[in-house]
Amino acid sequence: MTSVLVQPSDKLITIIGGSGFVGRHIVRALARRGYRIRVACRRPDLAGYLQPLGNTGQIMAVQANVRYPASLAAACEGAYAVINLTGVLHSAGAQSFDAVHVFGAEASAKAAKAARARVFIQMSAIGADAGSTAAYARSKAEGEKLARANFPGAIVLRPSIVFGPEDSFFNRFAEMARFSPFLPLIGGGETQFQPVFAGDVGEAVVRLIDAGEADGKTYELGGPEAFSFKQLMQFTLDTIGRSRALLPLPWGIAKVQAAIMGLLPNPMLTVDQVEMLRHDNVVSEEARREQRTLEGLGVVPQGIEGIVPGYLYRYRKAGQFTAPKGIPE
């Protein structure tokens, strides 16, 4: 990849947890604007793939862990803006929901405040709710609350399912379809989602930092169209050219299976995720009215049809040489 020719900025942006899936898209978007970027992560020695996203010396990975505030203080020193992306999909050991989503959000906001950063952005999720039956949703809501308590004007981003080449949604179910004779439709597959492209999330972050205003708002980020879980499973199958049964799975059975899977080191399904599936994962009408959306930030969201086939082709029987359903060979 060639270097990015941009006008360099003297503003430093610290991205806590920036070496993950969403982080690399935010790093790319910031690099294109010329910002200096400090990526705070647990294993900076494994984050070398971020370097080609910017010019020489523009991106620097440093060691930090949200469970150790002193490391965050060092990572945020001199930062114009701080973004906290840390999150886990299931709670286990030291990487628990409380440690990462709650304590981590509080520690990150405190570090940003101590560094006198102009902007602090806390990554959350649509579905964050203090009254939820899912510990994941409750911990995300608590993290939002503590971020705002410790950094006045903290901005919260709540995306729906984020998709992109390294995502854990389309890739996971496409992989499952290679070996399983069916894909499960938990609760019948009627839950609505509004998949948002990781690149659009990155662009939203850049626009908020460009504005330089700690507006204290909660932005809900979704793509141009909502789909049921069943529609997303069928889209995945059509894209990879495989015929599989879509098997409705009642809530009770799904919870039992999730409880068993939850005992594995990297479970495909947890009880928390089943609980989250009981509620639609889409941008609210209130956020639309108040322009707290991608469109409100001037970002035109990209749909799944133009992007997902470009990275799911590897799950087809003959890879890129197999045409997806509906396209002539």
Q: Taken in order 47, 50, 55, 59, is the CA torsion positive or negative?
A: negative
Nearest in space to 78 (alpha carbons), one of 138, 44, 118: 118
* Per-residue pLDDT tens digits of the chain, which is 329 residues long: 444 446 788 999 999 999 999 999 999 999 999 999 999 999 999 999 999 999 999 999 999 999 999 999 999 999 999 999 999 988 888 889 999 999 999 999 999 999 999 999 999 999 999 999 999 999 999 999 999 999 999 999 999 999 999 999 999 999 999 999 999 999 999 999 999 999 999 999 999 999 999 999 999 999 999 999 999 999 999 999 999 999 999 999 999 998 998 888 888 888 989 999 999 999 999 999 999 999 999 999 999 999 999 999 999 988 777 765 555 44
Q: What is the CA radius of gyration of the chain?
A: 20
Residue with tokens 């901005």: 155
**Is 154:121 a contact under the CB 8 Å cutoff?**
yes
pLDDT in tens, 140-175: 999 999 999 999 999 999 999 999 999 999 999 999
Amino acid at the residue 80: Y
Contact (Cβ atoms closer than 8 angstroms) between residue 259 and residue 225:
no
